Amino acid sequence: MSENVTVGQAFQQGMREEMGRDETIFVIGTDLFIRGGHFAQVKGIGPEFGADRVIDAPISEAAMVAAGVGAAMNGMRPVVDLNFMDFAFGAMDELVNQAAKARYLWGKAVPLVVRASSGIALYAAQHNNSLEAWFMHTPGLVVVMPSNPADTKGILKSALRGEDPVVFFMHKRLTGARGETGGPDDLVPIGKAAVVRPGRHVTLISSGIVVQKAVKAAEVLAGDGIEVDVIDLRTILPLDIDLVMESVRRTGRAMVVTEEPPYASVASEIAASIQEEAFDYLDAPVARITAAHAPIPHAPQLMEALLPQVEHVVQAVRGSISRWPSSEEV
């Protein structure tokens, strides 16, 4: 509780505490029992809880997720660990047609957590897909994306005590990010965003690893006298649009930063919602700062060239203020 741990360790803490509290919780995935997963996310939990609670699966995401769905429908609370979110493609029917629809069709709850490491890092295109929009787009799924240890642990607890199928995104590059965590009953609610750095002039909306870039951009802009309200969404769906709108109504200027490719991104959904609901409060069009529309390549220089960096965010804010100055004395 409240020590300085990594995101990976925070997830372990959460799993350990919840599995101790509720014997219907188990984990299934590849290389979990001994290795603890490809990101050490459940390291040590296998030997501690036994092979019935940490189940090594063959390489079949379809089987893992189907096992999770069926088990969730028969009294358990499974965590399916896909290791890499890119492997979800092999379980798309299980996630979208099975897990997401049982409640709507039958009133049958599927209390399932599907965790995977996500986001842009290494290993090139097939291991660097951004799937948050795919799952946000699927009625029946809940999608979360914590960006720090406290939220990782707290949101995991909320997911494990909830009644919905939750797709749990953890950015690969955040695995080692450090911070404090809460205690055994400190739940972070799903569906609530957080302001990580307050400001009066611009609302900057981010999630996952991009939160760090947004904060760095805010620090640079503070030197210009521009104060940025940085929002960490924490949950993709249900989206905390109320908190976003409250900020935009104050600042009059909104930008969404994401690692996703641009078309039909989560950022697009947020931008559309803001201009629909806060039009009379805007001084400028809502901007999306996204990655480029390309698969992710291997060479780091190529990869970084596709992604939005701190300076892109800074330039976008400055450019917006220059082109559409604020209408209010702030």
Partner 1 sequence: MTETRAVAGPDELIEIQLDGVPLGDLEEWLETMLLIREFEESLEPLTMSGTQIPGSVHQASGQEAVAVGAIRALEPQDLVASPHRPHHHALAKGMTARVVMAELWGRTTGCAGGRGGTMHLNDFSLGYFGSNGIVGAAIGIAMGAALAAKLRKTGQVCVGFVGEGGANTGRTWEFVNFAAMQKLPLIAICENNQYAVETYIGRSAALVDSIARRAEGFGLPSVQVDGQDVCAVYRAVHAARDRAARGDGPSFIEAVTYRYRGHNTGEVANYREQDEVEQWRRTKDPIERLRRALESAGLVDQGRFETLEENARAAVEDAIRFADESPVPDPATATERVTALPVDAKGPAQ
Partner 2 sequence: MPEIAIPAIGIAMTEALLVKWHKQPGETVEAAEPVVEIETDKATMDLESPAAGTLGPHLFEPGAIVPVGTVIAEIVAEGAPATEAPEEAPESSAPAEESMPSPTAVSAAAPPATDARRPHDKSPRARRLARERSSAEPRREKAGRFRDLIAAKVAESWREIPHFAVTREVDAEPMISALQALRASNVKPAPTMTDLLLRALALALRERGDRDGHVGLAVATEDGVVIPVVRDVLSLDAASLAGARAAAVERARTRRLNADDVATTPTSTLSNLGPFGIDHFTGIVAHGQTSLLTVGRAVPRVVADGDRTLSVRTTFHATLNVDHRSIDGADAAQLLVAFAEAAELITPDF
The angle subtended at Cα 174 by Cα 272 and Cα 193, nearest 5°, is 40
Contact of residue 75 among partner 1, partner 2, none (CB under 5-8 Å per partner type): partner 1
Query: Residue 60's binding partner, choosing from partner 2, partner 1, none, with beta-carbon cut-off 5 to 8 A by kind?
Result: partner 1
Assess whether 137 carries a catalytic annotation. no
Residue 27 three-state SS:
strand
> Which residues neighbour 326 within 8 Å (Cβ) at sequence distance 6 or greater?
201, 252, 253, 283
185 interacts with, out of partner 1, partner 2, none, CB within 5 to 8 A per kind: none
Please state the closest distance from residue 275 (CB atom) to partner 2, in A: 9
Q: What does DSSP assign to residue 126?
A: G
Q: Quick check: 162 binds partner 1 (CB under 8 A)?
A: yes
Residue 123 binds: one of partner 2, partner 1, none (C-beta under 5 to 8 A by kind): none
Indicate the residue among 162 and 184 with the shorter CB distance to partner 1: 162
Residues that bind partner 2 (CB under 8 A): 201, 224-226, 252, 279-284, 314-315, 318-319, 321-330
Which stretches of the chain are DSSP H helices?
Answer: 7-21, 45-49, 61-73, 92, 102-106, 132-136, 149-160, 210-222, 241-251, 266-277, 300-306, 310-323
What DSSP string describes 137-202?
A: TSTT-EEE---SHHHHHHHHHHHHTSSS-EEEEEEGGGTT-EE----TT-PPPTT--EEEE--SSE
Instruction: Tell me if 120 contacts partner 1 by CB under 8 A.
Output: no
Q: How far is the CB of 141 from partner 1 (least distance, A)?
A: 8
Distance separating alpha carbons of residues 236 and 136, to the nearest angstrom: 7
Please tell me whether residue 44 binds partner 1 under the rule CB under 8 A: no
Q: Quick one: tokens of 29?
A: 């995935």
Segment lying near partner 1 (by CB under 8 A), choices 14-22, 116-124, 210-218, 237-245: 237-245
Q: Which stretch binds partner 1 (CB under 8 A): 8-16, 29-37, 140-148, 245-253?
A: 140-148
The residue from 127, 171, 201, 293 that is catalytic is 127
Whether 27 contacts 81, CB under 8 Å: yes
Cis, bond preceding 238 (omega within 30 deg of 0): yes
- Residue count, binding to partner 1 (CB under 8 A): 47
Binding site residues, partner 1, CB under 8 A: 24, 26, 52, 55, 57-58, 60, 62-64, 66-76, 78, 93-94, 97-98, 101-109, 139-142, 162-164, 190-191, 237-238, 241
Active site residues: 127
